[in-house]
C-alpha cells in the first residue's frame, strides 16, 4: 500500500491585540491573550496606550488575520472608526477589527461601530470558549499572494507565505520612497543571548540611534519568539518594548518558532532573504529566542551558510557564575558582545569576568557595557558606533555624536 501523502498543518491564525490611547487597563487583554495562545493562535501584543497609527502600522507589517482591541476608557466609537479608516485608506481594508470593553460599550454603540467598520463586539460575561470558537471560525483563512498589496504589506505577505512553506515566495516591489539609483545593500546582524538579558530593549535603543544617525535610511527587525510545544500558539510580545518601531522607517515583524528548535523560525532564512532582496533596508536586526549554552541560531560555526553578517551576543549580570560563562559557545564567535543592565549591583564583577572570558578567545573582542532601559545611555551609543563601523553604515562608526532621539507621544 502506498504511503499516504503528508499534509502540512494549516498555519496558525495571527491576531494583533492592543489597548487604545489613554487606556491603561490591560488585565482583560492579558487574559484573552493567554487564552488565544492556549487555543493555538499566535498573538502579537502591542501593549496599552496605543495610537491609531501604531495599531494600523503593526497590523500591516505583521500581516495579521484580524485586530482585536480592548477598550475600557470610553471614546471607543471614534477610536475604532479611526483604526478601520486608516486601514482602509492604506489599502488594507481586508484586515477586520473586533473588540470588547466590559460595560463601557453598549449595544447602541455597537450598532454605530459596526456601520463604521468594526466587525463585532464581545461583551462582558461572554464565555471565553465562545469567543475562541467565533475567532477561529470567522478569521482563520489561508494566506494567498495578493497582487494589489504594496509596500510593507506586500513584504509582510511574502514573509507570511514563507512561514506557510510556500516555495519561492513572490518577490515584493520596493516602496515608492526607495532610492531610485538602485537597491540598498543591507547589513544583517543576529542578536542572541539568554532570556531576560534585555535583547528587545537593547534592539529598540539601537533602532533609535539608527533613526538619528542615518537620515532617510530604513531598518528591519525580525523578532523570534517561542511557540507553545503543546498548543502551537504563541504570545509574540517584543513589540511591547519597541517604542521606536512607531517610525515609518522601521519594519518590524514577529515570528513564532512553530516547532523549530534552532532559536529561530524555520521561515527566518527566507524572511532574511526577502528583506535583503527588497533593497529597502540599510540594517536588519534578527533577534533569536533566548538561547542556551550550545545554541548557534545564526550558523556562525559553519553548520550551513551563515544567516547574518555579524552577531551581537547580549548578557545580563546574573548569568550564574564563571563556570556557566565558560560554557557559552557563542561568546567564542560573536563579533560584538554587550553586558546589559549595568545598573545592576553585580555588573562590576560581571564586566571583569566576561572580559577575561573574551580575552581567552584571543580575538580582540571588546565588551560593551550598556543599560538599555535608560534612554540616551552612552554605552548604547558606543555599541551602535561599533556596529556601524563593522557594517559600513554611513560615517557614524566613530560614535562621537550622541543620539538623543525624541520619543513621540
pLDDT per position as a tens digit, 327-368: 999 999 999 999 999 999 999 999 999 999 999 999 999 999
Residue range 220-245: mean pLDDT, rounded: 95
Residue range 225-236: mean pLDDT, rounded: 95
Q: How many residues does the chain have?
A: 409
Band (pLDDT 50/70/90 cuts) for residue 303 is confident
pLDDT per position as a tens digit, 110-133: 999 999 999 999 998 899 999 999
* pLDDT for residue 201: 97
Q: Quick check: 401 pLDDT over 60?
A: no
- What is the pTM for the complete model shown? 0.90
Residue range 67-95: mean pLDDT, rounded: 96
- C-beta of residue 289 within 8 angstroms of C-beta of residue 318: no
Please give the residue that has the higher pLDDT: either 321 or 367: 367
* pLDDT for residue 407: 39
Round to whole Å and give the CA distance between 139 and 27.
Answer: 24
Q: Quick check: 408 pLDDT over 60?
A: no
Locate 181 and state its grid cell.
539609483
Q: Quick check: 245 pLDDT over 90?
A: yes
* pLDDT for residue 168: 55
Q: Where are the beta strands (DSSP E) in 29-144?
A: 42-45, 66-70, 97-100, 120-122
Band (pLDDT 50/70/90 cuts) for residue 183 is confident
**Which numeric CATH code is attached to 14-139?**
3.40.50.280
* pLDDT for residue 167: 64
* pLDDT for residue 171: 53
Question: CA 186, 225, 231: angle at the middle one, nearest 5?
Answer: 140
Q: Quick check: 12 pLDDT over 60?
A: yes
* pLDDT for residue 174: 44
Packing angle of the helix pair 378-391, 199-213 (nearest 10 deg): 70
- C-beta of residue 263 within 8 angstroms of C-beta of residue 192: yes
- C-beta of residue 172 within 8 angstroms of C-beta of residue 155: yes
Q: Spell out the domain ranges in the chain.
A: 14-139, 183-391
Domain 183-391 in the same topology as domain 14-139: yes
Q: Where are the beta strands (DSSP E) in 94-133?
A: 97-100, 120-122
* pLDDT for residue 5: 44
Least confident of 167-171, 186-190, 306-310, 356-360: 167-171
Architecture of domain 183-391: 3-Layer(aba) Sandwich (3.40)
CB neighbourhood size of 83 (10 A): 26
Q: Quick check: 293 pLDDT over 90?
A: no
Residue range 223-238: mean pLDDT, rounded: 95
Round to whole Å and give the CA distance between 379 and 384.
Answer: 9
* pLDDT for residue 107: 94
Q: Quick check: 227 pLDDT over 90?
A: yes
Round to whole Å and give the CA distance between 389 and 351.
Answer: 23
Amino acid at each position: 500500500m502506498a504511503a499516504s501523502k503528508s499534509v502540512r498543518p494549516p498555519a496558525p491564525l495571527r491576531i494583533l491585540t492592543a489597548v487604545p490611547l489613554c487606556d491603561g487597563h490591560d488585565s482583560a487583554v492579558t487574559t484573552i491573550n493567554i487564552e488565544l495562545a492556549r487555543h493555538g493562535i499566535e498573538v502579537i501584543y502591542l501593549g496599552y496606550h496605543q495610537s491609531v497609527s501604531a495599531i494600523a502600522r503593526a497590523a500591516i507589517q505583521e500581516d495579521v488575520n484580524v485586530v482585536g482591541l480592548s477598550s475600557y476608557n470610553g471614546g471607543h466609537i471614534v477610536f475604532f472608526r479611526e483604526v478601520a479608516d486608516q486601514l482602509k485608506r492604506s489599502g488594507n481594508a481586508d484586515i477586520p477589527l473586533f473588540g470588547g470593553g466590559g460595560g463601557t460599550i453598549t449595544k447602541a454603540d455597537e450598532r454605530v461601530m459596526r456601520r463604521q467598520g468594526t466587525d463585532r463586539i464581545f461583551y462582558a460575561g461572554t464565555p471565553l470558549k465562545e469567543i475562541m470558537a467565533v475567532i477561529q471560525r470567522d478569521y482563520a483563512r489561508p494566506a494567498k499572494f495578493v497582487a494589489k498589496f504594496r509596500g510593507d504589506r506586500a513584504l509582510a505577505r511574502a514573509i507570511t507565505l514563507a512561514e506557510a512553506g510556500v516555495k519561492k515566495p513572490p518577490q515584493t516591489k520596493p516602496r515608492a520612497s526607495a532610492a531610485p539609483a538602485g537597491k540598498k545593500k543591507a547589513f544583517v546582524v543576529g542578536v542572541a543571548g539568554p532570556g531576560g538579558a534585555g535583547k528587545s530593549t537593547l534592539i529598540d535603543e539601537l533602532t533609535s540611534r539608527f533613526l538619528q544617525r542615518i537620515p532617510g535610511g530604513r531598518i528591519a527587525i525580525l523578532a523570534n519568539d517561542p511557540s507553545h510545544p503543546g498548543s502551537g500558539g504563541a504570545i509574540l510580545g517584543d513589540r511591547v518594548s519597541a517604542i521606536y518601531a512607531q517610525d515609518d522607517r522601521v519594519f518590524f515583524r514577529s515570528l513564532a518558532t512553530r516547532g523549530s528548535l534552532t532559536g529561530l523560525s524555520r521561515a527566518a532564512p527566507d524572511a532574511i532573504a526577502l528583506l535583503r532582496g527588497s533593497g529597502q533596508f540599510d540594517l536588519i536586526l534578527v533577534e533569536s529566542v533566548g538561547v542556551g549554552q550550545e545554541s548557534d541560531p545564526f550558523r556562525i560555526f559553519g553548520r550551513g551558510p551563515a544567516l547574518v553578517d555579524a552577531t551581537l551576543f547580549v548578557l545580563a549580570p546574573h548569568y550564574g557564575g564563571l563556570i556557566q560563562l565558560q560554557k557559552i559557545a557563542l561568546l567564542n564567535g560573536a563579533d560584538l558582545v554587550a553586558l546589559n543592565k549595568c545598573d545592576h549591583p553585580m555588573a562590576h564583577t560581571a564586566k571583569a569576568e566576561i572580559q577575561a572570558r573574551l580575552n581567552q578567545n584571543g580575538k580582540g573582542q571588546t565588551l560593551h557595557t550598556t543599560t538599555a532601559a535608560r534612554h540616551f545611555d552612552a554605552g548604547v551609543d558606543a555599541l551602535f558606533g561599533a556596529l556601524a563601523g563593522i557594517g559600513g553604515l554611513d560615517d557614524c562608526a566613530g560614535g562621537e555624536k550622541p543620539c538623543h532621539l525624541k520619543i513621540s507621544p
